[in-house]
Amino acid sequence: MSLAKYKEKRNFNVTPEPKAKKIKSAQKLEFVVQRHKASRLHYDFRLEMEGVLKSWAVPKGPSMNPGDKRLAMMVEDHPYDYRTFKGIIPEGNYGAGIVEIWDHGFYAPINEHSEIIDEKTILKDLKKGSIKFVLLGRKLKGEFALVKMKTTEDNAWLLIKHRDEYAVDTDYSCETLTPLSSPINKALKKELKNKKK
């Protein structure tokens, strides 16, 4: 696990984002979903593994509907401290814009029989391009899979909800589950107002 790319892309004298530092969490593994208004609004899905956060940019965000396959572009590892990061990345910096936390909690890596596995095993699965895990978030719950696409670019994966007691069959949109008072929504409203002028 390396944070070299993360470091390379950022100037820590300017951005308030966490410095590149590996930390092992105390016990349970954590996950976070950040909503990020950069050049495009998207979601960032991050799973703690071996002291860093394995990260995917998910344009539409995750879904609790097993019928949705959400495109997830794997990006550089982020430091463990990033899981609590929210705020403004100043203009001119990588990912400039606003970051807010959309969901967070613990997660457990599992195998195809839904049995809990250890970090070493999920890392092996990750290298093979297919991981399964259980999320214990406020919004996201139950079993999910992240599967690398074979036909396209190297970093394209699909984030898929598995059918379980938490799965829904109705339309699922992350945007409708975001409070209107969120910093990004306030900024979007302001932009819209300015456009109308």
Binding site for Mn ion (CB under 5 A): 36, 44
When the beta carbons of 36 and 70 are compared against Mn ion, the nearer one is 36
Minimum CB distance to Mn ion, residue 118 (Å) = 28
Q: Give the separation between CA 67 and CA 73, rounded to whole angstroms.
A: 19
- State which residue, 115 or 153, has the beta carbon closest to Mn ion: 153
What is the b/e burial string over 8-23, where b = at least 16 CB atoms within 10 angstroms of the residue's CB?
eebeeeebebbebeee
Q: Which of 126, 135, 44 is nearest to 82 (CA)?
A: 44
The nearer residue to Mn ion, 110 or 159, going by C-beta atoms, is 159
Dihedrals φ, ψ of 60, to 5°?
-90, -10
Q: What's the min distance (Å) between Cβ of 104 and Mn ion?
A: 15
Residue 54 tokens, joined: 């394995």
Residue 129 CB, shortest distance to Mn ion, in Å, is: 22
Least distance from Mn ion to the Cβ atom of residue 112, Å: 30
Q: Which one, 37 or 132, has the nearer CB to Mn ion?
A: 37
> How far is Cα 47 from Cα 123, in angstroms, rounded to an integer?
11
